[in-house]
Amino acid sequence: MAWDGRTLPVTWEGAPEIMGVLNLTPDSFSDGGELLAPSGALRRDVLLRRAEAFVEEGAAYLDLGAESTRPGAQGLPEEEEWARIQEALELLAPRFDVKLSVDTSTPEILRRAPPLGAALLNDVRALQRPGALAAAAESSASVCLMHMQGDPTFMQEAPHYDDVVAEVLTFLQSRMGEAEAVGIDRSRIVLDPGFGFGKTLAHNLSLFRALPRFVALGVPVLIGVSRKRMLGALTGRERPKARVVAGAVLAAEAARHGVAIIRTHDVAETRDALAMVQALDGPT
State how far the alpha carbon of 68 is from the alpha carbons of 72, 77, 103, 105, 250, in Å: 9, 12, 10, 11, 23
Helix (H) / strand (E) element for 144: namely strand 142-146
Torsion sign, CA atoms 136, 137, 139, 141: positive
In the sheet that 17-23 helps form, which strands lie side by side, from edge to edge? 189-192, 142-146, 118-123, 99-103, 61-65, 17-23, 261-264, 222-223
Active-site residue 228, yes or no? yes
Q: Are 214 and 221 in contact (CB under 8 A)?
A: yes
Q: Are 54 and 61 in contact (CB under 8 A)?
A: no
Angle at 53 between CA 136 and CA 255, to 5 degrees: 65
Annotated active-site residue in 175, 228, 243, 271: 228
Helix (H) / strand (E) element for 24: namely none
Task: Round to whole Å and give the CA distance between 233 and 201.
Answer: 8
Task: Round to whole Å and give the CA distance between 205 and 172.
Answer: 18
Nearest to 104 by CA among 177, 214, 18, 84: 84
Half-sphere exposure of 241 (CA within 13 A, CB side): 4
Q: Which residues are designated catalytic?
A: 228, 263
